[in-house]
Structures are given as structure tokens and as C-alpha cells.
Amino acid sequence: MGKWLNAPDTLRFEVRGRVAYITFNRPEKRNAQSARCLRELNDALREADDLRSVHCVVLQGAGKDFCSGADISEGIEPGADGRRPYDPADYRGRTAFEDDVWHTRYGSNLRLDIFRMHKPVIAKVQGNCLAVGTDIAFNCDMVIAADDARIGFPAARSLGSPANHMWLYLMGPQWAKRLLLTGDVLRGRDAAALGLVMESYPPAELDAAVAVLADRIALGDPALLAAHKRVVNMGLELMGWETLQRFAAENDARAHLAEAPRAFFDLVKAEGVKTALQRRDAPYGHDEVQLRAARDNPETPQ
């Protein structure tokens, strides 16, 4: 297919005019991300960044969701015969803290390449954008969501802390804590009101709105676009972004030492992922945060 990307299994890559569309293509899994997905995403981003014809990138999900989170049903992918093509004992596991940090930072760096690449990236978010889905979306330069999209980090209740962290920069400390301490989610409309995403649109208008913005950005000279992106990113780095990302990955590994992740995965092994998720989330009941202005205006579509 290209210099960096060849016959990907988990995504589609298409160039329309001057815009590259990278589409997570696991709708049957609600675009949950495995290690293979992240590696193929990284290859697709490098392909788009290297292609002279591409000026802007849109990252999106096939089907109903942008990304429902990590595919916790998958470990390291086995070979075609169902067995691993190597001895796992020869490699780092996740039992030791330092090994867990190594794995977590590796995955984090794959996602951080979205932020670090030279060309602008727009995340088009529909349906669920949860957990690692937010790690991916918030590394994009702009996030455009459907009004009814569900955006949050429910995994904070049982699995760890975000290994990439843009929550503080996008919405400030109080709302960042409000969402991470509960694992609650926002609808796209409210996420836009709080600055977590840039804009939201009715679902039927989302594709067109993103295409118009991407095509407009793509009118620019790629060298100028890169200069504009990089100066804003440098401002974030001067505010501690680089240090915070490094700490966030280590902090996620530290969070894995809590009792809740161990109990969660014990339940997964005993009764399956679906049951484990249901038991984790049941005490929280309704998990959508609705802003007071929306609550006070019942005519506001949700």
C-alpha cells in the first residue's frame, strides 16, 4: 500500500484530495484497540505524514463507535495456529513494576506520535470514545464529536489511570478530576461546552462538518501548517506536557498495583469480560454527567 503501511488488518487508509482518512475498522469489536491496532495506527500516521499529497489527516471509526477502549479480551497476539510464535518467558511480562512501566510507555509513545507528527490531525468522534479511545482522540489537534457521543474514561474505576493525559490541558483541573475520580462520561454536546472537544454536531451532520474543516485546513502549505502546529505544541511543552505524558504512563503502571485491577481481572478470568464490566459499573448507576444548563433546558437535544 505504501512506504510505511502494507495491508493493514485493523484499519482502512484512504486519501481523498489532500486529506488522509484513517479509519479504525473493527466495528464488530466497537473499534476496541489491541496492540496490533496501535502498531498499525502508528504505521498509518507515518504514511500520512510522509506522503507529499496529504496535507491533513482525519482519524475516525467504522460503524457506531470511534473507539470503545482497549480490547482487554486480547493479550499478545498468538500466531496463525493459535499459539504464540515465541516463548513468553523470554520477554518482559507485566508482573514487575518496571516491566509494566516499559509496556505502558511503549503503548503511550505510539499514541503520542499523533501529537508529534508534523501534519494536523482531526478526530471525528461518534458513539463511544472511551478509555484508550480518549488517549487517541485527545492527542489529535482537534476533536469534533457528535452531540450524542459518549466520551470518558470508565476504566479509571478499575483498570488504571490514563497513560496519556490531556484532560488537564483541555478542561482544567476540577473537571479533569471530576471525570477521572468517577469514571463518568460526557455527551459530545457537553464535552464541547467544557472544551474537552472543540465542537459538536448532530450525528447526521458530523461527516460533512469534519470534511469541510479538513478540506479547508488542507488548502494550506504543509510546511506552514507544520509550523503553526508545532508552535502551539511547543507552548504545551513549555506548560509541562512532555513531562506529564512521561509521568502519566508511569502513573498508570503504579495504578495497576491497586487491588481493583487485580480483582477485576480475576473476575474476567472467572466469569468473562462482560460480567466483570457489569459488576464494576453497577454501583455507579447512570454514568452520564449532564451540565446544569442542559438539565434546566429540557428542550436541549441529548
Cβ atoms of residues 27 and 63 within 8 Å = yes
Do strands 185-187 and 150-152 pair parallel, antiparallel, or not at all (unpaired)?
Answer: antiparallel
Separation CA 11–CA 30 (nearest Å): 13
At a CB cut-off of 8 Å and minimum separation 6, what does 77 contact?
Answer: 34, 35, 36
Residue 297 confidence (pLDDT): 66
Instruction: Please tell me whether residue 291 adopts helix, strand or coil conformation.
Output: coil
pLDDT band for position 295 (50/70/90)?
low
The phi, psi pair for 87, rounded to 5°, reads: -95, 115
Separation CA 293–CA 302 (nearest Å): 12
Alpha-helix runs per DSSP H in the chain: 35-50, 97-116, 132-137, 167-182, 188-194, 203-217, 222-238, 241-255, 259-271, 273-281, 292-296
Instruction: Please tell me whether residue 203 adopts helix, strand or coil conformation.
Output: helix
Q: What's 70's DSSP letter?
A: B
Cβ atoms of residues 72 and 268 within 8 Å = yes
Residue 240 confidence (pLDDT): 97
The CATH architecture of the domain made up of 11-75+90-284 is Alpha-Beta Complex (3.90)
At a CB cut-off of 8 Å and minimum separation 6, what does 218 contact?
Answer: 17, 18, 19, 55, 56
Query: pTM, whole model, 2 decimals?
Result: 0.92
Separation CA 265–CA 271 (nearest Å): 10
Structure confidence by residue, pLDDT tens digits, 226-263 = 999 999 999 999 999 999 999 999 999 999 999 999 99
Which sequence spans correspond to the domains of the chain?
Answer: 11-75+90-284
Cβ atoms of residues 248 and 108 within 8 Å = yes
The phi, psi pair for 119, rounded to 5°, reads: -95, 145
Structure confidence by residue, pLDDT tens digits, 59-110 = 999 999 999 999 987 654 444 445 677 888 899 988 899 999 999 999 999 9
Structure confidence by residue, pLDDT tens digits, 208-226 = 999 999 999 999 999 999 9
Residue 273 has pLDDT above 70, yes or no: yes
Q: What's 86's DSSP letter?
A: S
Separation CA 37–CA 80 (nearest Å): 17
Maximum Cα interatomic distance, the chain, rounded to a whole number of Å: 60
DSSP H or E stretch at residue 141 = none
Chain-centre distance of CA 130, in angstroms? 7
